[in-house]
Amino acid sequence: MSRLIHISLDHNKLSGELSPILGNLTSLQSLGCVVKQNHASPFCQKCSAFCTTCGRPAPENPSTNNSDSSSSSSSSSSSSQSSSTTSRSGGDVSVGGIIGIAIAAAASLLLLAATLLYCRHRRHKKQQRQYELAHSIASSLCTEYSLAKVLKATNNWSKDNLLGSGSFGDVYKGLSPHDATTAWAVKRARLIDAEFQKEVHQMADKNHPNIAKLLGFAVGGDIRTRAEQTPRFL
């Protein structure tokens, strides 16, 4: 009897006082009966009081503990499954977003590269056309000047040097870069390549005292004009 640890009085209709012999059970840890819905009999209350006095825990309802444990484990399992599903779906969304960003970035880079190549091709083609035009005109009896010399002669198209304007372009007063005492009449023509080439050849062949002699020409691009109106200088 002295080795008893638990004494359960479930399903017993006991009443009366507790025997003082129970106090000699040194190994006893719990003594009591099942308490349902907080309605304890006087005997069960005495058992609880005995356990409290001895410093031993009062008995609990085993079925209630099992129920609580089951519900707790089921809720933990469901919450872990939910968090696992959420993290899995979140991982899928993140991977999809990264793939979409990578595809968009690659497409943007390809478009940028194609645009740069196209602009470079157009610029090269324009320079080639100007070179061919200047080469074809240079075979005549006039000199090809650089655009830098023309800009220097006209003081960078200064309005103070503007002599007049017409349907084919503006005429500026300039000074020869080789001789500051020699004045030039520089025409900034608005002609396409074929018309400009024709006019240069016609002016180069003329030799009359009442007609200004053509000294030379210059061909250069100007970003302030339209491509079909590339500036021409006479």
Give the three-class secondary structure for 185: strand
Per-residue pLDDT in tens (0 to 9) along the chain, 234 residues = 556 666 666 666 666 666 666 666 666 656 566 544 455 566 566 666 655 555 444 444 444 444 455 555 555 555 555 555 555 545 555 888 888 898 999 999 999 999 998 888 787 676 666 556 555 665 555 777 888 888 888 888 899 989 888 777 888 888 887 777 778 888 887 766 677 777 777 777 777 777 777 778 887 764 222 222 334 444
**Domains defined for the chain, CATH in brackets:** 6-60 (no CATH), 140-233 (3.30.200.20)
* CA nearest neighbour of 140 among 198, 221, 209, 212: 198
- Letter for the amino acid at 213? K
Q: Give the C-alpha separation, 34 to 29, whole Å.
A: 16
Side by side, the strands of the sheet bearing 232-233 are 143-144, 216-219, 232-233, 183-189, 169-175, 162-166
Query: Which run of H or of E encompasses 197?
Result: helix 193-205
pTM of the model: 0.39
User: 87: burial class by Cβ within 10 Å (0-12, 13-18, 19+)?
Assistant: exposed
Q: What is the pLDDT of residue 58?
A: 44
Between 193-205 and 62-138, two packed helices, what is the crossing angle to 10 degrees?
A: 20
Q: Which residues contact 141 (CB under 8 A, 6 or more apart)?
A: 204, 205
Q: Give the C-alpha separation, 26 to 3, whole Å.
A: 7
Q: What is the pLDDT of residue 229?
A: 31
